[in-house]
A and B are shown apart, each in its own frame.
Chain A
Amino acid sequence: MRLEPIAAPTPARRLGLPALALAATVVLASGLSMLAGADPLATFGQILQGAAGSKFALLETLNRATPLIFTGLAVAVAFRAKLWNIGAEAQLYAGALVTVVIGTQTGLPGPLAIPAMALAAVVAGGLVLLGPVLLKVRLGVDEVVTTLLLNFIMALFISYLLEGPLKDPMGMGWPKSPALPRDARLPRIVEGLRLHWGFVLALICALGVWVMQTRTTLGYEIRATGLNPQAARFAGIPVGRVLVKTALISGGLAALAGFSEVAGLKGNLTADLSPGFGYTGIIVAMLALLHPLGVVVSALFVAGIFVGADSMSRAAEVPSYIADILLAAALLFMVLAILLTRVRVVRG
């Protein structure tokens, strides 16, 4: 077999194939649910109910979506330049770390502390990604492996700090940092509703990335670098410098997820602050086809699946890992479907 480009794909093909991918995911999930001895329709109903069935559920989904928007944007920005940043997890923790340090150690008053924490987080996250990118640009070291390995190094570093210098003396021996003072926390958007301004910041960032990508020279340079670095270099684009700028933006966005989780939701730093938000960000970005506004939609979808599956597994016999399988399968089905909207398979 070989692949032949389709000059003008029909709308049926462009919409039908992604729909088919979604249907395949649903079929797979039904099979998994039946394997666990549960009625698939009941499982889907419970997931939907748990994700959006009540005001509480909906707010939980929005809260879960917030860090995923940040990490999804971080991945989308980087992947657009074919910069394979798989280290959003480490950048997230770097952001969370400096947020806690500034919030608890400097004694800045709230109105100053919050912007200082956010800015420092962006810088810290950017710096964490800068290392691997400089190694890539200067020495040709593959950034996939270096960013992945940094996740493990960062996790150990955080573990050391939480058991040592950053340990909360009032923490009853638990490895956790002291809590941010009240006035250094992100306020709730509406008093009484458990949703903080981190969500709005995430939406602003999505809009900002979209403007950057479509309306600025840097956005154009990032796209050109991603499409074909040799051609971009030939056209006079400083590819190395573009990659460094991309890294600073991408790392900074991922770090804002850490800032927002600490300052908006948790109030302190623990080693389990992120249940893999950095890795899930890759799925979020890919399902959104790397479009920054699409990231918001896909983060809400992914967060809904996770929150819904958590709530479902408390009631039914189906393990909550069904959410992870579903999303990984959706990712693989979707990339295949998107390809097949552009090419057809011919024999020979």
Chain B
Amino acid sequence: MTEIVEILLSASFWAAVLRIASPLIFATMGELICERAGVLNLGIEGIMVMGAFAGWMAVYAGLGLWPGVLFALLAGMAFGAVHAVLTVPFGLSQHVVGLGITLLATSSTYYAYRLSLPEVTSPPRIEPFQPLEWPLLERIPVVGEALAAQTALTWLAFAVVVVVALVLYRTPLGLALRAAGENPQAVESQGLSVTAIRMGAVIAGSGLMAVGGAFLTMSAFSSFFFEMVNGRGWICIALVVFGAWKPGKALLGALLFAGFDALQIRLQQTGLGQIVPYQVFLMIPYVLSILALVLMSRRAEVPAALMTPFNRGDR
């Protein structure tokens, strides 16, 4: 018990929570935008893989960090566009298309990796984002120290939540987007195009997912590994449900989740780690995600038209 208290009081723990949460926040916001507009995007896992590679490769090729983020964003948007065309105007099964996009994005990434680095045994490292310099911030114990350890991308993740929340709830665009996911007929009767809104949401959301992936290579690990996304995309889908499709609650979910993840890594180093096999600790994120889904299942706040294709003229 004292070990847990010690962990919870350490600045390095809270720094890790924010770091682990960042990619989840980007991707969860991306998925949330898609789903609020009525489209389930199962391409998330593959798009994150693609984003992780695209950002890293751009930096390795000498493009610089921020252009790398932009490159990842564009790569994600490109795959999002394919998803959007197939699921929105053509109304194909969002399950099948989403899984297809995940397979396509993942395999294209691995193919591109092998083509661009045919001879390497271990992937080259890049100079990743560094923690921002703050005057005085790191002098505040725990909270300040944890915040001072973060890179610009983590701050960007939090900014994205604010922007998504403002756009969704304070702008006509956000109202139209939410309506497209609740009652598409009403949107059409206002003279707006459900197709355009949904496609825009899927493309923008997919861009955010890719930036979430890019965080892994450009801020957290500085190198690209196969299977480094490791189910994070699927966890983000669970986080959207856990957050009841609301940006603020989804952010809390991501932080809570990251907290458990950071805790399990540290518990492995304690006496508990001597008794319990490490695989049990590694299972915790996945088990928690399932638990989150079960806990939230009774609350029916699902966008009413989620997974329902809209074809103008149908009744």
Contact = CB atoms under 8 A, between A and B. Distances in A.
A332 interface: yes
Contacts, number: 122
Interface residues of B, number: 49
Interface stretch (A99-107, A141-149, A234-242, A258-266): A141-149
Q: Name the prevailing secondary structure of the A interface residues.
A: helix
B95 interface: yes
A36 B115 contact: yes
B289 A149 contact: yes
Contacts of B172: none
B283 A153 contact: yes
A139 B92 contact: no
Chain A interface size, under 10 / 10 to 19 / 20 to 34 / 35 or more: 35 or more
B286 A332 contact: no
Q: Name the prevailing secondary structure of the B interface residues.
A: helix
Residue with the highest number of chain A CB atoms closer than 10 Å, among B82, B195, B313: B313
Given A135-B294, A139-B294, A148-B231, A332 B100 contact: yes
Contact of B293 (A145, A164, A335, A339): A145
A33 B89 CA distance: 31
A145 to B, nearest CB: 5
A140 B297 contact: yes
A36 B107 CA distance: 15
B234 A145 contact: yes
A152 B231 contact: yes
A278 B97 CA distance: 17
Contacts of A283: 103
Interface string B262-296: 00000000000000010110110011011001100
A319 B116 CA distance: 11
Interface of B: 42, 82, 86, 89-93, 95-97, 99-101, 103-104, 106-108, 110-111, 114-115, 118, 195, 230-231, 234-235, 237-238, 241, 277, 279-280, 282-283, 286-287, 289-290, 293-294, 297-298, 300, 311-313
Interface of A: 1-3, 32, 35-36, 84, 86, 135, 139-142, 144-146, 148-150, 152-153, 156-157, 159-160, 163-164, 279, 282-283, 286, 317, 319, 321-322, 324-325, 327-329, 331-332, 335-336, 339, 348
